[in-house]
Structure 1
Amino acid sequence: MTPEDQFEQDTRYELAQMGADAAFKALTLKWMQAANQHKYSYHFHSLGRPIIQYPQDMVAMQQIIWDVRPDLIIETGIAHGGSLIQSAAMLAMLDMCDAISAGETMDPATSKRKVVGIDIDIRSHNEAAIKAHPMASRIDMMQGSAIDPQLVAQVQEIAGGYERVLVCLDSMHSHAHVLEELNAYAHLVSVGSYCIVFDTLIEDLPEAPDNPRPWSVGDNPKTAVEAWLPDNPQFKVDWAVEHSLAASVAPSGYLKRVSA
């Protein structure tokens, strides 16, 4: 066994042990519940733009993009654009590495790799900042509801021109909306890639007494995932990702497509 193989074997064992450690998981959840009171996930940037995300999930995304090597990333929910820009930067890095391996010079103008971002309300100041970013040429934005049939049809048509597709769902977090998003976009995911459903953590956080939003405990992305998975066995929760992160806004949300 090579040292690299030994390292990977040790890592798999350690992750399994960590995932089975109920006391550690309870302590982590307690920390996340406290962190949420301080809006912890709102305090990070990616390449100059705010990204409302845990840094653990940001790392998971770059690992997944590197492993999957997608041609197209579809993201519902744009906000400040940090996630779009992080994804675009990873696609640029894939192009650069492909060019180096082939002994060629990378030409961004000829790259097919794209990020499509969808949001029902792309605020003008965020749109301007995203379009002014060096990664803007790799990003296409679409305004409208992610479950609008016409918009879904447009995205499906775009996806038809790509071989490796990755999907991230992070817009409205109600059970019904996320379930419709899963039905609209998950089938676009290529085998070996992921449909990542963010903010499943809502199910594990205490109910806010003055919650003004249409999602809550019992009505959120995690309940949608739990309802959707039994009828879609070609997707499985990638527990290795979740165990490695420990603290994540997407518990049970890293859905890997394992079959056609």
Structure 2
Amino acid sequence: MNPIEQFQQEKKQRIAAYVGDRQWHNLSTEWLTTAFANQYVYNFAWLGRPIIQCPIDMVALQEIVWEVKPDLIIETGIAHGGSLIMSASLLALLDLCEAVENHTLLDPAQPKRRVLGIDIDIRAHNRVEIEKHPLANRIHMIEGSSIAEGVITQVHAFAKNYQRILVCLDSMHTHDHVLAELNAYALLVSVGSYCVVFDTIVEDLPPDSFPDRPWDKGNNPKTAVCEFLETHDEFMVDKEIEHKLLITLAPNGYLKRMKADKDV
């Protein structure tokens, strides 16, 4: 066995061993409970813009982007724009690597890969910072509810120009809203790519962990994912990702599209 294959096999063995370690899993949930109570995920930025995300999930998303090599990343939820900037930077690196590999010139003014962000309220100060960022020409934003018919129509029209699509859902975290987003956008995901549903961790945290929010245990992204998967066997939960991460805001939320059409 060559060293690269051996390394990958050892990694798989390590990850498989994590699955049965309930003490470690319980510690991870306890850590996340404390992290949310102390607004830990508000402490980070990507290339200068705040990103409300767990750094470990950020690494996982980087791995997915490199594996899938999407032409378009669709994101619901913009906030300060850090996630859009992160996605844009990863796509820029893909374009650069592709140009180097193919010995072609790269025109930064005409990016091949793009990011589409949707938010019901893109605050003026955040829009200004996003639009003046060096990666802004890779980013297109739509203001409006991600589940409004007009917005869904715009997103689908935009997506027609791209072959490999990755979707990240991170806006309103109630069951009904996330389920509507899944029904609206998940089928845009190309085979082999992912629909990443963030904050499914809400279901695993103590009740009333978010007293000022409409979501809670029993009404959150994880419950929406569960209902969605009941009728969409095109997707499977990539459990290996969360087994590897152990600390993640998206347990059961890394949905990989395995085939083009669901079985009827």
Question: What TM-score range do you get, normalising by the shorter chain?
Answer: over 0.9
Provide closer, same or farther for how the CA distance between residues 230 and 209 of structure 1 changes in structure 2, counting only shifts above 3 A: closer
Letter of the aligned partner of 1:173 in structure 2? H
Letter of the aligned partner of 1:239 in structure 2? K
1:108 is paired with a residue whose SS is coil
Distance 1:235 1:142 in 2: 27
Provide closer, same or farther for how the CA distance between residues 257 and 246 of structure 1 changes in structure 2, counting only shifts above 3 A: same
2:146 is paired with a residue whose SS is coil
Match of 1:9 in 2: 9
Normalised to the residue count of structure 2, the TM-score between the two structures is 0.96
Deviations 1:124-159 (A, max 9, x none): 000000001011000001000000011101111111
Is the CA contact 2:229–2:235 (under 8 Å) kept in the aligned structure 1? Answer: yes
Distance 1:18 1:138 in 2: 38
Match of 2:113 in 1: 113
Matches within 5 A, 1:125-144: 125-144=125-144
Match of 2:224 in 1: 224
Letter of the aligned partner of 1:100 in structure 2? V
Distance 1:207 1:26 in 2: 16
Provide closer, same or farther for how the CA distance between residues 210 and 156 of structure 1 changes in structure 2, counting only shifts above 3 A: closer
For structure 2, the 5+ residue unaligned runs are none
Deviations 1:71-96 (A, max 9, x none): 00000000000000000000000000
2:256 is paired with a residue whose SS is strand
Matches within 5 A, 1:1-260: 1-208=1-208, 211-260=211-260
Deviations 1:49-82 (A, max 9, x none): 0000000001011111011000000000000000
Distance 1:134 1:110 in 2: 13
Distance 1:210 1:242 in 2: 23
Distance 1:231 1:181 in 2: 15
Letter of the aligned partner of 1:107 in structure 2? D
Letter of the aligned partner of 1:56 in structure 2? I
Deviations 1:205-250 (A, max 9, x none): 1123771221111000000001111211110011111111110111
Is the CA contact 2:209–2:216 (under 8 Å) kept in the aligned structure 1? Answer: no
Provide closer, same or farther for how the CA distance between residues 210 and 45 of structure 1 changes in structure 2, counting only shifts above 3 A: closer
Distance 1:210 1:109 in 2: 43
Distance 2:110 2:130 in 1: 21
The alignment-based identity, stated in percent, is 55
Provide closer, same or farther for how the CA distance between residues 12 and 78 of structure 1 changes in structure 2, counting only shifts above 3 A: same
Letter of the aligned partner of 1:79 in structure 2? A
For structure 1, the 5+ residue unaligned runs are none
Normalised to the residue count of structure 1, the TM-score between the two structures is 0.98
Cα deviation, residue 29, structure 1: 0.7
Is the CA contact 2:29–2:247 (under 8 Å) kept in the aligned structure 1? Answer: yes
Distance 1:22 1:241 in 2: 17
